[in-house]
């Protein structure tokens, strides 16, 4: 599928005003997206668990305006205006204008809130950008359906197309956001063994998944709640001309192939091997780029070592993954909830800033709250 498919046939902005509210979750990558080409096209395929508790709820109110010269919008987080969020949204609007031609016809009020603390080091871009993209797609759907000049065939936007175009738009806001709309596993980026996979949008993982992965748990340990040391835009760009980039991109394809088998036969040891190696490779790429960065903190390493020791002692299948920061996602099967939660409370919480952590698990995607 090509980008052009997402440029709509012309419709009129016949609705004066309205509002939509969506909630959309965050996701945690198992095979990491790190490195992109122009237009947010990923250098390699990635796959993620959609989360359940960590989410953003966004209400988008829109009202017709006189001039169509510029974008016009306000952004509020928990009721407070956030001027600092505007440049990112302005860039997003510029990137998606060709696909949503109504954007300059309306003034938008974007009211957003997260279930997790804003400066917790948990990326809000995936949940935030996907929630906004969903609200914008709801506006497009409403305009198409209200346009009396369109014939019946052109008047409806089917559910599959709605999700696909929303994912396409969300990708242009923040790459990983395109993996947040559905659950429980989402693939983004072309991979030979996954029919329908695309660099343009995320797709639901199309194969059977072994029961071992049902309700998989993710406890997020907040090791460092500070602002990100390296923005993901800067981070992705460090892969241009990186000495190990081409090998890394090949490795991601291989990791995906191995995970397909793992999800089929439920091999948790192999799951651990791939997921931990992917996390450490992401950080290795940062450590070996120019300029170089260390995004892990001493407590990140303490936690990793404690997890490895616990596995050795107990034969548990608990493992870790990391984002581009110091926080640790502790992943484990539902059947181990009790013993791993005890272990986290007794041995790992001491390494979290102010003892803070978030219990989450695999989720099933975004929800329309009202319109």
Contacts to ligand PMV by CB under 6 A? 29, 32-34, 46, 123, 125, 174-176, 232, 282, 323-324
Place of tokens 């797709």: 203
Q: How far apart are CA 5 and CA 8, in angstroms?
A: 8
Which of residues 20 and 320 has its CB atom nearest to ligand PMV in the complex? 320
Q: How far apart are CA 27 and CA 180, in angstroms?
A: 6
- For the chain, counts of helices (H) and of strands (E): 8, 14
Nearest distance from residue 65's CB to ligand PMV, in Å?
Answer: 31
Q: How far apart are CA 55 and CA 58, in angstroms?
A: 10
Ranges of H-type helices in the chain: 86-96, 125-146, 159-173, 232-237, 245-265, 268-287, 298-314, 337-343
SS3 of 61, please? strand
Check if the beta carbon of residue 219 is closer than 8 Å to that of residue 344: yes
Burial class (CB in 10 A: 0-12, 13-18, 19+), 148: exposed
Which of residues 59 and 232 has its CB atom nearest to ligand PMV in the complex? 232
Cross-strand pairs, 106: 64
Nearest distance from residue 235's CB to ligand PMV, in Å?
Answer: 7
Check if the beta carbon of residue 17 is closer than 8 Å to that of residue 65: no
Place of tokens 């346009």: 147
> Which residues, 6 or more positions from 88, have their beta carbon under 8 angstroms from its beta carbon?
173
Which of residues 181 and 324 has its CB atom nearest to ligand PMV in the complex? 324
The length of the chain is 371
Nearest distance from residue 154's CB to ligand PMV, in Å?
Answer: 33
Which of residues 165 and 283 has its CB atom nearest to ligand PMV in the complex? 283
SS3 of 73, please? strand
Nearest distance from residue 147's CB to ligand PMV, in Å?
Answer: 34
Check if the beta carbon of residue 318 is closer than 8 Å to that of residue 343: yes
Which of residues 146 and 229 has its CB atom nearest to ligand PMV in the complex? 229
Which of residues 175 and 363 has its CB atom nearest to ligand PMV in the complex? 175
CB neighbours (10 Å) of residue 88? 16
Nearest distance from residue 274's CB to ligand PMV, in Å?
Answer: 14
Which of residues 123 and 223 has its CB atom nearest to ligand PMV in the complex? 123
Q: How far apart are CA 249 and CA 267, in angstroms?
A: 24
Which of residues 95 and 141 has its CB atom nearest to ligand PMV in the complex? 95
Which of residues 57 and 232 has its CB atom nearest to ligand PMV in the complex? 232
Cross-strand pairs, 328: 221, 322
Nearest distance from residue 371's CB to ligand PMV, in Å?
Answer: 27
Place of tokens 């791993």: 340
CB neighbours (10 Å) of residue 77? 18
Place of tokens 């290795």: 284
Nearest distance from residue 237's CB to ligand PMV, in Å?
Answer: 11
Nearest distance from residue 172's CB to ligand PMV, in Å?
Answer: 11
Nearest distance from residue 220's CB to ligand PMV, in Å?
Answer: 13
Nearest distance from residue 282's CB to ligand PMV, in Å?
Answer: 6
Which of residues 96 and 282 has its CB atom nearest to ligand PMV in the complex? 282
């Amino acid at each position: 599928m090509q980008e052009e498919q997402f440029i709509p046939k012309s419709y009129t902005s016949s609705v004066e005003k309205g509002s939509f509210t969506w909630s959309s979750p965050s996701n945690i990558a198992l095979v990491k997206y790190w490195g992109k080409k122009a237009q947010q096209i990923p250098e390699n395929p990635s796959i993620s668990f959609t989360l359940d508790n960590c989410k953003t709820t966004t209400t988008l109110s829109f009202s017709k305006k006189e001039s169509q010269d510029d974008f016009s919008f306000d952004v509020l987080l928990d009721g407070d205006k956030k001027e600092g969020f505007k440049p990112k949204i302005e860039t997003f609007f510029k990137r998606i204008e060709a696909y949503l031609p109504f954007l300059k016809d309306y003034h938008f009020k974007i009211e957003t809130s997260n279930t997790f603390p804003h400066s917790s080091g948990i990326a809000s871009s995936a949940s935030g950008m996907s929630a906004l993209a969903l609200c914008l797609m709801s506006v497009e759907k409403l305009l198409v359906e209200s346009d009396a000049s369109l014939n019946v065939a052109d008047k409806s936007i089917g559910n599959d197309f709605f999700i696909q175009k929303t994912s396409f738009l969300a990708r242009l806001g923040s790459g990983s956001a395109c993996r947040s709309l559905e659950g429980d596993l989402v693939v983004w980026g072309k991979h030979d063994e996954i029919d329908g996979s695309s660099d343009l949008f995320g797709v639901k993982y199309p194969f059977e998944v072994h029961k071992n992965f049902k309700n998989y748990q993710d406890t997020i340990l907040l090791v460092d709640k500070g602002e990100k040391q390296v923005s993901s835009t800067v981070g992705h760009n460090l892969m241009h001309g990186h000495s190990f980039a081409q090998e890394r991109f090949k490795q991601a394809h291989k990791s995906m192939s191995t995970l397909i088998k793992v999800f089929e036969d439920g091999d948790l040891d192999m799951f651990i091997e791939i997921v931990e190696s992917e996390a450490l490779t992401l950080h290795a790429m940062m450590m070996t780029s120019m300029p170089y960065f260390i995004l892990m903190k001493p407590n990140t390493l303490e936690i990793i070592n404690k997890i490895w020791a616990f596995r050795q002692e107990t034969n548990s299948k608990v493992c870790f993954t990391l984002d581009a920061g110091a926080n640790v996602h502790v992943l484990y099967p539902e059947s181990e909830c009790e013993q791993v939660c005890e272990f986290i409370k007794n041995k790992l919480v001491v390494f979290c800033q102010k003892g803070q952590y978030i219990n989450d698990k695999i989720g099933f995607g975004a929800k329309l709250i009202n319109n």
